[in-house]
Chain A
Amino acid sequence: MSHVQMVANRIGWPMRAANGDRGPLARYVIALLGGALCLVSLFSMAWGASDASLFAVLGDWFMSETDSRLSVHERIIIYEIRLPRTILGILTGAGLAIAGAVLQGLFRNPLADPGIIGVSAGAAFGAVSVIVWGGTVLAPLTYFLGLFALPVAAFAGALTATMVLYGIATRHGRTSVATMLLAGIALGALAAAFTGLMIFMADDRQLRDVTFWSLGSLAGATWSKIGTAGSIILTSLATMPFLARGLNGFALGESTAGHLGLPVQRVKYTAIITATAATGAAVAVSGGIAFVGIVVPHMLRLLIGPDHRYLLPASALLGAIMLLLADAVSRTIVAPAELPIGIVTATVGAPFFLWILLRKRGIVDL
């Protein structure tokens, strides 16, 4: 402890207090993450094939149009391409990380990730159904919902998967981890099979849409996508204060949460709807981006503890940061081509998942 503690004291970093109160540390970390997100967003805006520099972008914000050093061309790149892309990255990253943290709180298990337990697969099935059947079977849906059809269908798919999974894996307020993971795999496979069937039935144009969508990229970011997915994700972020209290109570099991005076059913359904809405919206705009929901909350739990009042906002911030960084990597590593961002997150996330498993075998053998 001593060395770490000394360094921590020197730089004024609040360690886990001897009295077990990690609130000050958590607030400090959240403030740092907020600052880091601002920096990373700026970086993400200035980063790319065109050489509009960071200073030029910053300058453009604070100077009048005539003084700006940016050309018209650069402004279009920044405001019509990079800004939407950055915002979409923030929304998706925050949404996926929150969804992960909420599902983990609900299932009382650090391995519950929308990508692993079939929730994203359900969302993907919903999304692909709209792409393929949007003009025929699901025409009324696309007619009434317009741009919202894709995220709503993805949400419906994710919701169905989660409800079924919760029904299977949770008995008498106790979640069996093995059942959760195995049932999640089965559900995911089933959803993938249905998705495959959809693709099999698709014509060439739909096939191209599906492929483009499933590559999981922020490249197609537009303001209208931000409007639809963003409103869903922001709504689910708004439930955080209510959920935070409830999920803390869930840590001791459903019945204890009830004894503590929490509205268990309401917490449960809010958690499921929040997590699936955020996953659905994120999947709808960006295809399958796995592992953000597992890596981010887990790292934060190690740092600031599992108190959801801090864990949820911190996850949103760190999720956004991670996704912007992953996007930066995906844009540059094979430039001028782009690697699908899902590949980047999976390359980092999958070994991380294995690492948690190896370190904490106990949680799987419950």
Chain B
Amino acid sequence: MISAKRISVRLGRSPILHDVDFAASPGRVTAIAGPNGSGKTTLLRALTGDVPFTGRVEINRRDLASLDAFELASMRAVLPQSANLSFPFTVREIVRLGLVGGRSGAAGGALETIIEEALIRVDLAGFAGRYYQELSGGEQQRVQLARVLCQVWRPVLDGVPRFLFLDEPVSSLDIRHQLVIMNIAREFAEAGGGVVAILHDLNLTAMYADQVAVVHRGRLAAAGEPRTVLTDDLLETVFECRLQVSVAPPSGGMFVLPQSAANSRTT
């Protein structure tokens, strides 16, 4: 269980978040949505303890401030919005970094196999020997996800649920791989872990999220099930354009939706 009460963040002189409440439960995919610059990443960074904030964040009923890096790393893994790398690591070496700190939960001897399996899950089988810097943007993003998966390989460890924090995990992926990654998130939640994901795609949010929190200008605009939260009115206020939920374009307009592919085997 992640629970945050009255989170406010200032960066430099400007206030970025104002009294945001947030909760995410194990077994659920919780999405954070909102326009660019609304404070989604900042909220996530407060939840992971990367920016100073006022208010209180608890992870599995323990105060975030009282946990050290190792304890935190064994309860949650974080996929940042962007990562830049300084040295020529191979894909395997990057994914292995997921195993340096926390506790993957896998048996000691199985660590190298986890790396392979994680790469297979993100559809990068056979990429272990490539140089990270020589991969495409979408491939790099999936390598990072494989690293994050290794860190919390078992969604529940010693009876304690673990969490994935994903900042725009599908932002540079093609449609099939968006579904692959969202299915991984789904499975992680179904296995008892919790997922907090920042998503820009409202359609994917509606398909995969059990809960959604909408952030607007540093405040929480709404939170709850996508069905109740994502209404025409809310979307119009938050995104400042006239969006209509579940309305097909007037006859002749073309649209492509992934729903039909979502539950088929995509890998």
Using CB atoms and an 8 Å cutoff, list the residues of chain A in contact with chain B. 16-22, 108-110, 245, 248-249, 251-253, 255-256, 258-264, 301, 305-307, 363, 366
Whether a CB of chain A sits under 8 angstroms from the CB of B21 is no
- Report the minimal beta-carbon distance from B107 to chain A, rounded to whole angstroms: 19
Within B89-136, which residues are at the interface with A (CB < 8 Å)?
89-94, 97-98, 100-102, 112, 128-130
Please name all residues of chain B whose beta carbon is closer than 8 Å to the beta carbon of A252 when the two chains form the complex. 83, 85, 94, 97
A262 to B130 alpha-carbon distance, docked (Å): 26
Q: Is the CB of A261 within 8 A of B83?
A: no
Q: Are A20 and B92 in contact (CB under 8 A)?
A: yes
Looking at the assembled complex, report how far the CB atom of A46 sits from the nearest CB atom of chain B, in whole angstroms: 38
Choose among A258, A262, A305, A363 the residue that contacts B50 (Cβ–Cβ < 8 A). Answer: A258
Could you tell me if B50 and A108 are in contact, using CB atoms closer than 8 angstroms?
no
Q: Which residues of B contact A (CB under 8 A)?
A: 45, 48-50, 68-70, 72-74, 77-78, 80, 83-94, 97-98, 100-102, 112, 128-130, 151
- Contacting pair B86 A109 (CB below 8 A): yes
Enumerate the 10 nearest inter-chain pairs by beta-carbon distance, A residue then B residue, closest first: A261-B101, A261-B73, A20-B92, A306-B87, A20-B90, A108-B86, A260-B101, A20-B129, A20-B128, A259-B78
How far does the Cβ of A170 sit from chain B's closest Cβ, in whole Å?
A: 13
How many angstroms between the C-alpha atoms of A152 and B49 in the bound complex? 37
Closest beta carbon of chain A to B42's beta carbon, Å: 12
Q: Could you list 11 A-B pairs, sorted by A, with CB under 8 Å? A: A16-B90, A18-B129, A19-B128, A20-B91, A22-B93, A245-B100, A251-B85, A251-B89, A260-B102, A264-B69, A305-B88
Q: Which residue of B lies closest to A109 (CB)?
A: B86
| Cα of A258 to Cα of B165 in the assembled complex, Å | 14
Q: Which residue of B lies closest to A247 (CB)?
A: B87
B246 nearest CB across to chain A (Å): 37
Question: How far is A255 from B45 in the complex, measured between Cα atoms in Å?
Answer: 10
- Using A22-B93, A252-B85, A301-B87 as known contacts, list a sample of 16 further A-B pairs with CB atoms less than 8 Å apart, ordered by residue number in A: A16-B90, A20-B129, A20-B130, A21-B90, A251-B97, A253-B80, A253-B83, A255-B50, A258-B50, A259-B73, A260-B97, A260-B98, A261-B69, A301-B88, A305-B88, A306-B93
**Judging by beta carbons under 8 Å apart, are A22 and B73 in contact?**
no
CB contacts (< 8 Å) of A21 on chain B: these are: 90, 92, 112, 128
B73 with A260: CB separation less than 8 A: yes
* Contact yes or no, A251 B74, CB < 8 A: no
Q: Are B129 and A255 in contact (CB under 8 A)?
A: no
Interchain CB contact (< 8 A) of B102 among A16, A261, A263:
A261
In the assembled complex, the Cα of A260 lies from the Cα of B152 at a distance in Å of: 10
Cα(A65)–Cα(B84), bound, Å: 61
Q: Report the minimum CB–CB distance from A112 to chain B (whole Å).
A: 10
CA distance A177 to B129 in the complex (A): 28
Supposing A245-B100, A260-B100 touch, asked if A255 and B80 sit within 8 A by C-beta, the answer is yes
